Amino acid sequence: MIIKFLRMFFLVEMIQGMLVTLKYTFSRKATIQYPEEVKQPSERFRGIVRLHRGEDGGPLCIACKICQRTCPQNCFDIEGAKDESGKMRPVRFDWNLERCSFCGLCAEACPTGAIRNSKEFRLSTPDRSKLMFHLSEMYSDYDLQKHFLGEKI
Ligand code: SF4
Ligand code: SF4
């Protein structure tokens, strides 16, 4: 009874509460200022698939269509043709984000490592037509945020 009275008299609960507030005021923040700051997803995260180029800047894709045959969602429509050096290259590479389940099977099956899951998770757009990608929009250096949001960024 006396202890309870002393705790009330010296505002112990209130001081304890204020100490908790003070501790979180100066501790490292868990929140970030999105979209100015973007937190990197974990190593195992599978984002939107992107095409990659080789060290010489040429495409790694040989238009073998293994990714197309592997994809359980039928996301791809690929056509290839030989370039002037006789190498098979994609001339059409249509890919439908709307169907993709981010399973990563296409990236696993690709024999040249041309297609890989990126870490990009910001895929919202007010324009549904932006969910269909064509060859030049599939490369990893293509600006996805401009693609999705256009003039709004
Ligand atoms: S991640 Fe899966 S669903 Fe998406 S394109 Fe690749 S194979 Fe198809
Ligand atoms: S991305 Fe890979 S699997 Fe798909 S067509 Fe190109 S080389 Fe073949």
pLDDT digits over 109-121, tens only?
999 999 999 999 9
Helix (H/G/I), strand (E/B), else coil: 100: coil
pLDDT digits (tens, 9 = 90+) for 84-94: 999 999 999 99
Q: Is 90 exposed, middle or buried (0-12, 13-18, 19+ CB in 10 A)?
A: buried
The ligand 2 atom at the shortest distance from the C-alpha of residue 93 is: 5
Q: Give, using CA atoms, the residue closest to atom 4 of ligand 1.
A: 100
Q: Is the pTM of this model over 0.85?
A: no
Q: Give, using CA atoms, the residue closest to atom 3 of ligand 2.
A: 110
Give the Å distance between the CA of 24 and the centre of ligand 2: 50
CA distance 95 to 153: 24
How is 105-130 classified by DSSP, letter by letter? HHHHH-SSS-EEE-S------S-GGG
Give the Å distance between the CA of 51 and the centre of ligand 2: 9
CA angle, residues 145, 57, 121, in degrees to nearest 5: 25
Q: Give, using CA atoms, the residue closest to atom 3 of ligand 1.
A: 100
Q: Which stretches of the chain score pLDDT less than 70? A: 151-153
If phi > 0 it is left, if psi is from -120 to 50 it is alpha, else beta; for residue 104 that is: left
- Give the pair of three-digit tokens for residue 87: 């190498």
Starting from the CA of residue 65, give the closest ligand.
2
Q: Give, using CA atoms, the residue closest to atom 4 of ligand 2.
A: 67
Provide the 8-state DSSP code for 67: H
